[in-house]
Structure 1
Amino acid sequence: MKLENKKIGRNFFSLIWTGVRRNYDNLDNLDDHIAKRLSDESQDNPVEIHLSRMFSEVFQRHTKDEADRLFIVGTRSTTPSLRKVSSRPVKPWFFSRIFFVLAVSFAMLMLLLFLFKSNKAIPGLIFIGSLAVPFSLMMMFFEINVYQNISVLQVLTTFLVGGILSLLVTMTFYLMLPIRTDVSIESALVVGFVEELAKCVVVILFINSYRLNYIFNGVLIGAAVGAGFSVFESSGYISQYGLMTIFTRSFQAIGTHTIWAAIMGGAIILGKARKKPFTMRDFFTKPKFYIFFLIAVALHTFWDWDIPNTGLNVSIMQEVLDIIIGWFLIYIMIDAGLREVKTLQGQRIIIPKKHRLKKGRSEKNRSKKR
């Protein structure tokens, strides 16, 4: 009986895994299907991008020289010409090393606090705990920016100044709007709209100031502003509600402000005329922008909303669903960014062989049904 139950259990999980794997593989097609609708160029052929391999370099060995080359970018002498920009699928890896260093630092500070009872470790715990995930995500987008036209100094300036400035803009908006302290959908909507609008305004300021014109540029600047916002906001919450808050806030940062602002940064580039600044008119007249802006507001609202008469399990499911949708939109931006590189370079966009086979089979099936 036990053997039969184990066999049934294995078959059940095998069936689930097969379905998950099939749907995950199809994600490569689904995000490209959406991304090519964002392009003003050819609508027929997908960019060759394999999301399942995006993080394949994380666990590979890399030399110090490879890491150094990632940071020697963004200057007049180190920014490559458009012809030399890589249009291959992006495979960031160094961000995982940054996260590892920050995680080890956090663990060491925890030892100082709990093993040696040193309260002097608390400020460090608050800062490193708030910094680890958002900063690592920001550096991932720094790696993904294949144009290499934004320096480390610009990224850090955007992270610090942009993060604080977005909080100042948020507080200014709060003074003008009535914000209630309840957990209703209306209150969550107001908070989501105010905070995303504040970040959006700051991202636009930096994109216009740096005169950026590429989708990957917008995603990076958005991520930098969102990461700064996340770090300083989390530090405030931890100081107010206690150290235990640091664990939930750190986990949640994988799918909140950094991701939402990165989506808006890419949308700002999609919504403006090339080599021209983003204007107030673009804000209201470009569907490619305001649709993504409204989606970011909706994701923030859904995250903050406590559904009445539900418990912790529903709240966790809300957050997981929010993270999945947010990262799917990030994949769309990455896909659209690679499509943009190939279009600007005048390259022919090639359909991967396995996608051609799938497409041929689906067309044959449709013809048989007819």
Structure 2
Amino acid sequence: MGGILGVLGASILESLLLPMLTNPNQGLSLSGGLAVGLIEEGVKILAVIFLARHLRRATTMDGLLLGAAVGMGFAAFESTGYAFTAFLLSQGHVGASIAETVLRGLLTPFGHGIWTGILAAVLFRERRHDRFRITGLVIVTYLFVSVLHGLWDGLPSTIYFILPPGIHIPLVSLVIGVIGIIVFVMLYRRAVRGEIYQPPTATT
């Protein structure tokens, strides 16, 4: 459900805001990519907040897992759209759709799930008295994952890893993905330590 909400929200906002930031001949510009990052990371975290609105207990680990789930759901719907577009642009060649699906499947673990998981983990960590708070750390994290997303979409790809049968994976995507995974793993380890150590409850 979170993925559906995110895709719908992003589709509406991007259709209104992005035409002026795209290059018809080259796809997204860097500014367009950054705008996409801000929009999509924003709608995904709003979907997380909506899904978690009734949670009584919300830990950093809860945010990490829920954010990753919403991000992966978003990626699944987005990838379906890209695969269908590739099918249409290739004039009905199924191979083009399959190649696009495989490529996005390989890159998905480095993208949406990581970014939304990072932001949701910080958002849940900053939560107090069953209320989400937009603190400075949350804003900085939102900008961080949005920039990663924007660079992923907007930087030109000139160097590729080629996997059989001829699938081109941009090096820039792998580098950005590794940065995100490092931050995600750091948050995961902190969340695990937080789950293991529970402060003693005061008794009267």
Same fold (TM over 0.5): yes
User: Distance in 2 between the 1:262 and 1:228 partners?
Assistant: 12
Instruction: Give the aligned partner of residue 14 of structure 2.
Output: 174
Q: CA deviation at 1:270?
A: 1.7
Superposed, 1:45-194 pairs within 5 Å as 161-179=1-19, 180-182=21-23, 183-194=28-39
How many correspondences in the alignment?
Answer: 178
Equivalent in 63, 74, 77 of residue 218 of structure 1 = 63
1:118-152 Cα distance to aligned partner (Å, 9 max, x none) = xxxxxxxxxxxxxxxxxxxxxxxxxxxxxxxxxxx
In structure 1, runs of 5+ residues without a counterpart are 1-160, 347-370
Residue 253 in 1 paired to residue 108 in 2? yes
Residue 301 in 1 paired to residue 155 in 2? no
Q: Do the aligned residues in 1 keep the contact of 2:114 with 2:180 (CA within 8 Å)?
A: yes
Q: Do the aligned residues in 2 keep the contact of 1:271 with 1:287 (CA within 8 Å)?
A: no
Equivalent residue letter for 1:192: G
Runs ≥4 in structure 1, deviation > 4 angstroms?
none
TM score, norm. by length of structure 1: 0.45
In structure 2, runs of 5+ residues without a counterpart are 87-96, 162-168
Q: Do the aligned residues in 2 keep the contact of 1:267 with 1:293 (CA within 8 Å)?
A: no
1:331-361 Cα distance to aligned partner (Å, 9 max, x none) = 1111221232244245xxxxxxxxxxxxxxx
User: Distance in 2 between the 1:211 and 1:199 partners?
Assistant: 21
Q: CA deviation at 1:174?
A: 2.1
TM score, norm. by length of structure 2: 0.79
Q: CA deviation at 1:189?
A: 0.7
Q: CA deviation at 1:321?
A: 1.0
Equivalent residue letter for 2:141: F
Q: CA deviation at 1:171?
A: 1.9
RMSD: 1.9
Equivalent residue letter for 2:7: L
User: Over alpha carbons, which structure has the higher Rg?
Assistant: 1
Q: Percent identity?
A: 25
Q: CA deviation at 1:224?
A: 1.2
